[in-house]
Homo-oligomer: A and B are copies of this chain.
Amino acid sequence: MKKIMAYLTKDKYASMFDIVVSCDSGADVIATYTSVEEATIQEVVYGLAFTRHPRDIKNGMIFIGGSKVPEAESILEEVIKVMNTIPEVLRASVVIDPSGAYTTSAAAVVKIMKAVQALNLENPKAVILAGTGPVGMRIGALLSKENIQTRLTSRSLERAKKACEDIKAKYGFEVEAVEASDEEGIRRAIDGCEIAITTGPPGVRLLPKKIWKSSKLKIMVDANAVEPYGIEGIKVNDDLTSRNDGLWIGALGIGNLKIKLHRKLIERAFQEREIFTLEKVYEIVKTL
């Protein structure tokens, strides 16, 4: 029986990245629903539900992709709403990973926790610089879930607060909002932290050596794969690499695990029917 993925996004195109990973993880046929609207979502959920025997429902799944996380999450809400109108056994799996935000943040945090353990840090504190994007926010949520006291910065305090409120509302975890609009702000933000994560835009340096050299930072993590990287001195391939008495993790160090996780999610989705929430994704990455 063919494994069928319904790919939903409000973008105009399905991500080639997602398509390749899906094919490599078991999908035989990918039906793309781009620029998707509410009415279509019901037809997709029903189409996966009412065409096969309940024991075969797991050979279908929904992947919610695209470049915009809020749009993807509103699709997820609608999917869940429709699924709640049909018997549980007829509900196909749902994976959501717009911009790779779920898998990237889960991969980053599992790497960080390995570093914390390796360095034997007790009650470390973390700061996410330029953390109001989808990856930064989810890293914040997962660190907080791991009981790590976490700050999240933005050049605008208002935006940082908004992000932290969203994290609280969405995931129930507390993250502290901090303004960091200049060198002085960044110094204050990293003060007292052992862990720094930079999730700024590609090619923007957030943490120069002159700032981090006088800090107590041990674990340095950068999500930026385009030079100059977010942290001075980091290499894109750093993967718990020993630097400056600490362990550093570059964008590809995260990225390699992220792809492995992405593949695992699709495989799992075709094995058991479930909705892969951020927390479920994080549980899975810990097993890889």
Contact = CB atoms under 8 A, between A and B. Distances in A.
Interface stretch (A40-48, A72-80, A127-135, A140-148): A40-48
Contacts of A31: 14, 16, 19, 30, 32
Contacts of A48: 16, 20
Given A15-B43, A20-B47, 4 more contacts: A1-B24, A17-B46, A20-B51, A23-B29
Taking residues whose C-beta sits less than 8 angstroms from the other chain, chain A's interface range is 35 or more
A94 B115 CA distance: 42
A217 interface: no
17 contacts: A1-B24, A2-B23, A2-B24, A4-B23, A13-B33, A13-B40, A16-B31, A16-B43, A16-B47, A17-B43, A17-B46, A17-B51, A18-B47, A19-B29, A19-B31, A19-B47, A21-B51
A258 B243 CA distance: 59
Interface of A: 1-2, 4, 6, 12-21, 23-24, 28-33, 35-36, 40, 43-44, 46-48, 50-52, 60, 255, 259
A24 B33 CA distance: 20
Contacts of A14: 31
A205 to B, nearest CB: 20
A48 B4 CA distance: 21
A242 B221 CA distance: 70
A46 B1 contact: no
A40 B17 CA distance: 11
A68 B39 CA distance: 15
B30 A51 contact: no
A29 B6 CA distance: 14
Contacts of A60: 20
